[in-house]
Structure 1
Amino acid sequence: MAELVDSIELAVFERLIDVGKLLERRADRATREHTGIKYTQYEVLIRLRNAGGELRMTELAKKLVSTPSGLTYQLAQLEKAGLAERVIAPGDERGVLARITEQGRALLREVSQAQNDMIVEASIAPLTREQVEQAHRILGALQLHLRGEETGGLIPEDLAP
């Protein structure tokens, strides 16, 4: 049985939860304002783009920390908007791939500066460069522990500035 957490450990946990919710709320507001879609849908497009354009639905749900039914709903909304599509995986009739469309890629290009500005304002500007790098390492260690891999910030070479 684990020892009881002390007050600073409890505060770290509570702050991580709080900051995560605040960032997600801000990201959703900015994304809706600039794209008309929810941040959860925008994140689907980002994950697909960063994976080279397509992923199996099961893998995408895992990366998004989403339920299969939740992802199916988000993808259906993206399909209606012409931003993504579902296709049968080659050689596997039961496997389904989620794929970003050219219209989805165009949307990401169009809003990239607005998203960049929101990210800087919400999470980078209040910190020093050293704090940003420390946060990157600390959050990566938590991801590795909880998810089994570090994710985030993986911009495909052809999209890097």
Structure 2
Amino acid sequence: MSEKLDSTELALFERLIDVGKLLERRADRATREHTGIKYTQYEVLIRLRNAGGEIRMTELANKLVSTPSALTYQVAQLEKASLVERVVAPGDERGVLARITDAGRQLLRDVSQAQNDMIRAATIEPLTRSQVEATHRALGALQLHLRGEETGGILPDHAPGGIDP
């Protein structure tokens, strides 16, 4: 049996959960205000952009920590808005790819500065540079432990497939 958590260790876990929920709420509010879509849908567009424009639905669900049915609903909403399309995977008629459309890329470009400003105000300005770097390293280690890989940090102009900001 492992030793019990001390109060700081327990508080760390509770704060991570709390901060995650607060950030998601703030991101959703800002995204809806600037795009009319939910943050969960915006995140689909970001993941597609980061993957070079398209990705298998099963892999996308894993990257989003989403269930396949929840992802299918979000992608269907994005399809209705002409921001994403679903296509059969080449050589695998049972596989489905989600693909960002030109309109989806344009939406990402249009809201880039607003998202940048929201991220800066919510997560960067309250911290010193050394706190930002230490938090980045610590959360990266947790992400690697829980997900098996570190994600994030791909600037729009550095995304695979030459997708502009």
Indicate whether the TM-score tops 0.5. Answer: yes
Q: C-alpha displacement at 1:154, in angstroms?
A: 1.9
Indicate conservation of the 8 Å contact 2:56/2:95, yes or no.
Answer: yes
TM normalised by structure 2 equals 0.95
Structure 2 unaligned blocks of 5 or more:
none
Q: Is 1:117–2:121 an aligned residue pair?
A: no
Q: Is 1:48–2:33 an aligned residue pair?
A: no
Q: Distance in 1 between matches of 2:107 and 2:23?
A: 21
Q: C-alpha displacement at 1:33, in angstroms?
A: 0.1
Q: C-alpha displacement at 1:147, in angstroms?
A: 0.3
Identity within the alignment, %: 81
Partner of 1:7: 7
Q: Deviations over 1:47-82 (max 9, x none)?
A: 000110000001000000000000000000000000
Partner of 2:148: 148
Alignment-mate amino acid for residue 121 of structure 2: E
Partner of 1:69: 69
Partner of 2:85: 85
Cα RMSD, aligned residues only: 1.2
Q: C-alpha displacement at 1:83, in angstroms?
A: 0.3
The SS at the match of 2:96 is strand
The SS at the match of 1:152 is coil
The SS at the match of 1:2 is coil
The answer to which structure, 1 or 2, has the higher relative contact order (CA under 8 A, 6+ apart) is 2
Q: Distance in 1 between matches of 2:147 and 2:117?
A: 28
Q: Is 1:35–2:5 an aligned residue pair?
A: no
The SS at the match of 1:150 is coil
Structure 1 unaligned blocks of 5 or more:
none
Runs of 4+ in 1 over 6 A off after TM superposition: none
Q: Distance in 1 between matches of 2:148 and 2:92?
A: 26
